[in-house]
Structure 1
Amino acid sequence: MKTKAVLAACGLALSMAACGNAGGGGTGKDLAGKDVSCGDFTGRVAEICKAGKVTIGVKFDQPGLGFKSATADEPAGFDVEVAKILAADLGIDSKDVKWVETISDNREPFLEAGKVDLVLASYSITPERRKVVGQAGPYMVTGQQLLVPADSTVKDISDLKGKEVCSVTGSTSIDKINEKGAKGVGFESYSECVQKVLDGTVEAMSTDGTILAGFAAQNEGQLKVVGDPFSEERIGVGYSKKAPEMCTFITDSLKKAFDDGTWAKAFEDTLGPSGVKTPDAPMLDACQS
């Protein structure tokens, strides 16, 4: 997957024209459940299929990925559309999905406590997280970049040594910021971090380029994305370690979506308006026994 080329191109477009308009972050269209036999599944997957409903944790403050406005009935964005694809493969209509707002700091606790069945919330796959919860995928590969004011002279992370750069608490982005010599500052939400950049409290914000593209488009003329990606973030689906059978189901569902064009259509409908070109589907990890 040509992540650097894709995101760098978007960064250039953002510098010139805010990379399009992120709008509400996606289509928000319902997706009908497929005709499936719940007997083909086991464990928790079969239970969810038979119940005809599923609880999924997503972000509510990331335009293009997971965003819910005050007037919307449900969130919209690429993460949300991928979640609907998984629900459909369980025979569940998207209108029967219970959406739970999930922030970076509570993704593992929500899964461990059974508050959600799945998490699709810009959830980077890491060895540390896989010690606590299950993670399948990735369904997207991106890289960490910078969001700065439109009139900023910052070109990449090397220009911010010793300066404050914000991201969200509980994300891997803070560690990467510190590794590059800047001072990572954590906030509870991405929208709070964006506001700190807008009001000049911090020099920049840093997280996945796809997330930044949505915020730049939402604040056209005020913010821009700069710099080449300085990390690789493999975004996956979180599930409880108590239900290891989830991995095979998720992996099979994602592969079908890659092959039949459903995944690409979801990407184009949600992140496409922000100027991010549809990449090749990433290689899926094998499920651990």
Structure 2
Amino acid sequence: MKLRKVTAAAAAALVLSLTATACGGDDKDSDTGSGSTDGGGTIKVGIKYDQPGLGLKEAGGDFSGFDVDVATYVAKELGYAPDKIEFVETKSADRETALARGDVKFIAATYSITDERKQKVDFAGPYLLAHQDLLTKADSDITEATDLNGKKLCSVTGSTSAQNVKDEIAPKAQLRSYGTYSECIAGLQSGAVDAVTTDDSILAGFAAQEQYKGQFKLAGLKLSNENYGIGVKKGDTETVNKINAALEKMVSDGAWETAVKENFGPANYKNEPAPKIGDIKS
């Protein structure tokens, strides 16, 4: 399989735990599907392909972003070197199905932990606390969520962000659901929609892109707490425990903070401290 490059933070993380990786697990497995958690063979990991700063498939086929760095670190702790990871695109609407079918071993894709989702999948983490916000054009008069009444509000299919705004804050908002955030951002740029809502981390990643600099602004609202977790097939407690241990190690050895600065620093994103495992902010 072709080696997929990841960011410097992920590469540094690999070096930090080279000894642990070399030890690997006792039960090796040559499975090339969803992979085992004891190393050997390859492992399929679900990420987003269209979220700059979080999960992005670049033009040359490489992958970058905070979720990619987290996934790479976790996979390494499970016994898989970067060239043994196959990143699989998992859109918001497809995540539960991908895990249930075994298409991927775990998913790190801005996957907010909710009670509804916990009925279908298990979660490790959280590994990042984000907040729902709004992205508008730089000259927009939308400064509060209530300003969205009568406005066209975009989010992606399968996400709960826009529906939450309509249900709880702006009942006259006109919802527009697109397949990807890239489509929402293009709609915002063209005027097809008036605002995009999702997590501030995602919006900041887009706003910081070279082609969009100066065109958009974040409203700076904390409309919700979004506890990013790593999704695992329901009932796979062993993998959840191993991933939690990997996340704790990533924080303690400094790789988590390095990944945050590398991926969000250029957007001036003010992140929350690394959350404690199991500490879900409501």
TM-score for both structures, normalised by structure 1: 0.84
Shift of 1:227: 3.4
Pair 1:65-2:58 in alignment:
no
For 1:125-156, what per-residue CA distance to the aligned partner results, in whole angstroms no more than 9, with x for missing partners? 00111101111111000111111111111112
Where does residue 226 of structure 2 map in the other structure? 233
Going from structure 1 to structure 2, the CA distance change for 1:192 and 1:106 (only over 3 Å counts) comes to: same
Going from structure 1 to structure 2, the CA distance change for 1:27 and 1:176 (only over 3 Å counts) comes to: farther
Where does residue 43 of structure 2 map in the other structure? 54
Letter of the 1:168 partner, please give it.
V
- Quote the Cα distance in structure 2 between the aligned partners of 1:185 and 1:278: 28
Letter of the 1:157 partner, please give it.
A
Going from structure 1 to structure 2, the CA distance change for 1:160 and 1:26 (only over 3 Å counts) comes to: farther
- Quote the Cα distance in structure 2 between the aligned partners of 1:277 and 1:206: 18
- Quote the Cα distance in structure 2 between the aligned partners of 1:28 and 1:61: 20
- Quote the Cα distance in structure 1 between the aligned partners of 2:47 and 2:197: 20
- Quote the Cα distance in structure 2 between the aligned partners of 1:46 and 1:183: 42
Going from structure 1 to structure 2, the CA distance change for 1:46 and 1:210 (only over 3 Å counts) comes to: closer
Pair 1:84-2:72 in alignment:
yes
- Quote the Cα distance in structure 1 between the aligned partners of 2:188 and 2:35: 46
Where does residue 3 of structure 2 map in the other structure? none
Where does residue 171 of structure 1 map in the other structure? 159
Task: Give the alignment partner of residue 23 of structure 2, picking from 24, 27, 36.
Answer: 36
| Preserved contact between residue 85 and residue 257 of structure 1 (Cα < 8 Å) | yes
Where does residue 161 of structure 1 map in the other structure? 149
- Quote the Cα distance in structure 2 between the aligned partners of 1:274 and 1:52: 37
Provide the secondary structure at the position in 1 that maps to 2:185: helix
Where does residue 215 of structure 1 map in the other structure? 206
- Quote the Cα distance in structure 2 between the aligned partners of 1:160 and 1:151: 15
Shift of 1:74: 2.4
Structure 1: gaps of 5 or more residues: 1-24
Task: Give the alignment partner of residue 249 of structure 2, picking from 239, 252, 256.
Answer: 256
Task: Give the alignment partner of residue 146 of structure 1, picking from 134, 142, 145.
Answer: 134
- Quote the Cα distance in structure 1 between the aligned partners of 2:7 and 2:157: 25
Structure 2: gaps of 5 or more residues: 1-5
- Quote the Cα distance in structure 1 between the aligned partners of 2:10 and 2:67: 13
Letter of the 1:36 partner, please give it.
C
| Preserved contact between residue 9 and residue 262 of structure 2 (Cα < 8 Å) | no
Shift of 1:28: 7.7
Where does residue 197 of structure 1 map in the other structure? 188
For 1:181-227, what per-residue CA distance to the aligned partner results, in whole angstroms no more than 9, with x for missing partners? 12332111000011111111111000000100011111101111113
- Quote the Cα distance in structure 2 between the aligned partners of 1:225 and 1:277: 12
- Quote the Cα distance in structure 1 between the aligned partners of 2:135 and 2:270: 19
Going from structure 1 to structure 2, the CA distance change for 1:29 and 1:141 (only over 3 Å counts) comes to: closer
- % identity of equivalent residues: 39
| Preserved contact between residue 145 and residue 225 of structure 1 (Cα < 8 Å) | yes
Structure of higher RCO (CA pairs closer than 8 Å, 6+ residues apart): 1
Shift of 1:27: 4.4
- Quote the Cα distance in structure 1 between the aligned partners of 2:100 and 2:57: 25
Where does residue 100 of structure 2 map in the other structure? 112
Going from structure 1 to structure 2, the CA distance change for 1:190 and 1:28 (only over 3 Å counts) comes to: farther
- Quote the Cα distance in structure 1 between the aligned partners of 2:141 and 2:86: 43
Two-structure CA RMSD over aligned residues (Å): 2.3
Shift of 1:169: 0.6
Provide the secondary structure at the position in 2 that maps to 1:143: strand
- Quote the Cα distance in structure 2 between the aligned partners of 1:95 and 1:196: 36
- Quote the Cα distance in structure 2 between the aligned partners of 1:110 and 1:210: 24
Shift of 1:264: 0.8
| Preserved contact between residue 66 and residue 260 of structure 2 (Cα < 8 Å) | yes
Letter of the 2:177 partner, please give it.
G
Where does residue 9 of structure 1 map in the other structure? none
Letter of the 1:183 partner, please give it.
Q
